[in-house]
A = this chain, B = another copy of it.
Amino acid sequence: MAAKEAAIDEIKALGFSRFLPEVHKKKGKPPGTIHYTGKERKEEATIDIIDYTKISLEEKSTKKVEDAFPYKDKKSVTWINVNGVHDISILEKLGANLGLHPLILEDIANVNQRPKVEDYDKTIFVVLKMLAYNEKTKAVHGEQLGLILQKNTVVSFQEQEGDVFNPVRERIRKGRKVIRSSGSDYLLYALIDGVVDHYFSVLEKVGEGIEELEKELITRPQTKTQADMYRIKRELILLRKSVWPLREVIGSLHRNEMKIISKQTKPYFRDTYDHTIQVIDTIETFRDLLSGMLDSYLSAISNKMNETMKVLTIIATVFIPLTFIAGIYGMNFEFMPELKIWWFYPLVWLVMIVLVGFMLFYFRRKRWI
């Protein structure tokens, strides 16, 4: 009973609501209203600013959004990373400063967006899902990432502080040639690439889970194994839903004629596009494999059931007639001449043995034993 309550809690905590968009929370509000739709958060939003050129580098961490404004007109590339989109005032001020369309701000705060890219001439707005694998619940969780690309500026909006972008930060700090000498479009690429690369870790974890199950299936299949297969199948539905639209998003980044993305950066986006396709391919393969495992598990179960039935049939078919014969001579009629004949008892035994022999022969021929 306690186990069941725990299971329900688990569903509540991580289960179904992950699949439900919650746009309705803003229902009735006019479009352009900035309204946070994610989990309630208490921590204050923070802002990390990195401003760099080929030769200079400036880093700053702040809680006042106004600190980011001076970088706007600089020629250096500025990356403004906002951790926490639940603080609407930051979005509003930054939006006003950068001249963002109200719908962009609305979409950043509404963390249940489908991945998409929108081209507002001087601004490109990208929405992605960052995925994380929770080792304990063995569930995949998604977090929304909003990205704004303008000339010389990239703004990234995360729901909470994370470590997916640390490698990019490292590369900027270490003064890697390509990233430091490229524009903001390359920085956008670097961030998206970081997110997509991270998908592979999640896939790897899920893949390990499937491999684990496969071993279990061979050594000792149990009812739990089957439940686990359905659980992973479900995670794959969630994964698929998060990743599938990405194909279109990144595809349009490397194909389309967006002026703000330079010709030098396009091959990099194509590379990320290839990775996305690979992620999708792998998810599909996982689904196929899992279906195959389920089929083969179900057929194993059904084979076992058939074997059980066969044993029952053989035992019953052999003994039921014998018991009947014994029953006959257990009757108490006074006039049963056979009972007086001394060789009738051995004869009954003989008949029984012959009967059994015949049945076994028949089953053999039917290939039942």
Output the nearest chain B residue to A331 by Cβ-Cβ distance: B329
CB distance from A203 to the nearest CB of B (A): 7
The reply to whether B282 and A19 form a contact with Cβ atoms under 8 Å apart is yes
A282: chain B residues within 8 A (beta carbon): 19-21
The residue among A271, A286, A328 with the most chain B CB atoms within 10 A of its own CB is A328
Indicate whether A237 reaches chain B with its CB closer than 8 angstroms: yes
**Contact present for B305 and A308 (CB under 8 Å):** no
A41-B307 Cα distance, complex, nearest whole Å: 47
What's the interface size class on A, roughly?
35 or more
Say if the beta carbon of A126 comes within 8 Å of chain B: no
Copies per assembly: 5
| A interface, over-half SS | helix
B296-A190 in contact (CB<8A): no
- Say yes or no: A8 contacts B215, CB within 8 Å: yes
In the complex the two chains form, what is the Cα distance from A8 to B366 in whole Å?
Answer: 21
Shortest distance from the beta carbon of A12 to any chain B beta carbon, whole Å: 9
- Name the CB-closest residue of B to A27: B197
Beta-carbon contact of A201 and B120 below 8 Å: no
Q: A54 contacts which chain B residues (CB < 8 A)?
A: none
Chain B CB within 10 Å — which of A22, A118, A197, A333 has the most? A333
- A215 adjacent to B11 (CB under 8 Å): yes
Report the separation of the CA atoms of residues A211 and B292 in the bound assembly, to the nearest whole angstrom.
21
Complex CA distance for A94 and B210, rounded to whole angstroms: 40
The interface bits of chain A over 101-135 (1 if a CB of B lies within 8 angstroms of the residue's CB, else 0) are 11100110000111010101000000000000000
Q: A24-B197, A102-B178 are in contact. List 4 more A-B contacts (CB 8 A).
A: A20-B204, A305-B306, A330-B331, A332-B339
In order of increasing CB-CB distance, the 4 nearest A-B pairs are: A326-B327, A28-B167, A329-B331, A24-B200
A–B pairs, 22, beta carbons within 8 Å: A8-B218, A15-B211, A17-B211, A19-B282, A19-B289, A20-B282, A27-B201, A28-B197, A30-B167, A113-B278, A114-B278, A223-B303, A227-B296, A237-B288, A308-B310, A308-B368, A309-B313, A312-B316, A316-B316, A320-B320, A329-B331, A335-B344
Residues of chain A whose beta carbon lies under 8 Å from any beta carbon of chain B? 4, 7-8, 11, 15-17, 19-24, 26-32, 101-103, 106-107, 112-114, 116, 118, 120, 166-167, 171, 176, 178-179, 189-190, 193-194, 197-198, 200-201, 203-204, 207, 210-211, 214-215, 218-219, 223, 226-227, 230, 233-234, 237, 241, 267-268, 270-271, 274-275, 277-278, 281-282, 285-286, 288-289, 292, 295-296, 298-299, 301-313, 315-317, 319-324, 326-336, 338-342, 344-345, 348, 366, 368
